[in-house]
Amino acid sequence: MTKPLALMAPASVILILATWQGTCSSCQAQEADAATVEEPAVDESGEAADSEPPKTQLLTVNDKLLNLAVPVAWQMVEPRNRLIEVELAILPSKDGEQPTPGDQSSEEAAPRGRLTMMAAGGDVDSNIRRWIGQFRLGRDADGKDAMRRDELKLRGAVAHVLDIAGTYFDSPRGPFGPKVERADYRMLGAIIEIEGAGKYFVKFYGPADLVEENREAFEEMLSSLEVMQPESRSDESAKEDAEPSATDQSANS
């Protein structure tokens, strides 16, 4: 009886087929792995979209003599009088988070804190006594006046810092207007003596719990203070002079 012939593929074909199957499996594995890699999202500027926004902004005051890092949540407002160079409104936070600048709902929730900056004269002790006179002092846990005075050495300056609490005699209509008593208020004040350049005053007051909530940020702001040297100020002024103004830019466009 004649046996059927078995169809046998050449060995070279078998080898090629096995190699192709192995290569295919490897490609599939690589494609599966590649699918699990997530590229970080980027915005139009090319930066990662999930990067945290800055928490502070640089504030230059006192005729470009001082630089301070101020929280972005502290809102710049129109000063109440022309003696004040900079005024900031400090709003209560929501659930431990600082409010977004311009958030009107926060303004309606509770009274705001007020921070002012200005250059002024007079000796340090007289101005400290004047600030103390704006309070009917409360009492601390030991039954003493709720007041503390410290001295902070900074780069090119010394800050005389006053922490005081009690009933504040507010002057919402100016120093010569009627006084309004604000119970359970607190003030953090700093008189900054700048070497060879006079004094600069920073005063933050408001409800005691609001001031305590922002006390660390106030201290960090003072610690960030930098006195600009004459050379640095000249360089900045020269840079600004070299840049065309908005009017010049529109004329050239």
Judge contact between 210 and 90, C-beta under 8 A: yes
In a domain, 158, yes or no: yes
pLDDT tens digits, residue range 230-243?
655 545 554 554 44
CATH number at residue 171: 3.40.1000.10
Is residue 93 very low, low, confident or very high in pLDDT (cuts 50, 70, 90)? confident
What range defines the domain where residue 160 resides? 56-235
Burial bucket for residue 225 (CB in 10 Å: 0-12, 13-18, 19+): buried
Q: Per the structure, how many domains does the chain have?
A: 1
Instruction: Enumerate the β-bridge partners of residue 208.
Output: none
Q: What is the identity of the amino acid at 235?
A: D
pLDDT tens digits, residue range 196-227?
889 999 999 999 999 999 999 999 999 999 99
Instruction: Enumerate the β-bridge partners of residue 71.
Output: 56
pLDDT tens digits, residue range 61-73?
999 999 999 999 9
In a domain, 6, yes or no: no
DSSP 219-243: HHHHHT-EEPPHHHHHHHHHHHHHS
Judge contact between 151 and 182, C-beta under 8 A: no
In a domain, 140, yes or no: yes
- C-alpha 225/C-alpha 68 separation (Å) is 5
Instruction: Enumerate the β-bridge partners of residue 42.
Output: 48
In a domain, 130, yes or no: yes
pLDDT tens digits, residue range 103-153?
444 444 457 899 999 999 999 999 999 999 999 998 877 777 889 999 999
Judge contact between 156 and 194, C-beta under 8 A: yes
- C-alpha 66/C-alpha 193 separation (Å) is 12
Judge contact between 102 and 116, C-beta under 8 A: no
pTM to 2 decimals? 0.67
In a domain, 242, yes or no: no
In a domain, 19, yes or no: no
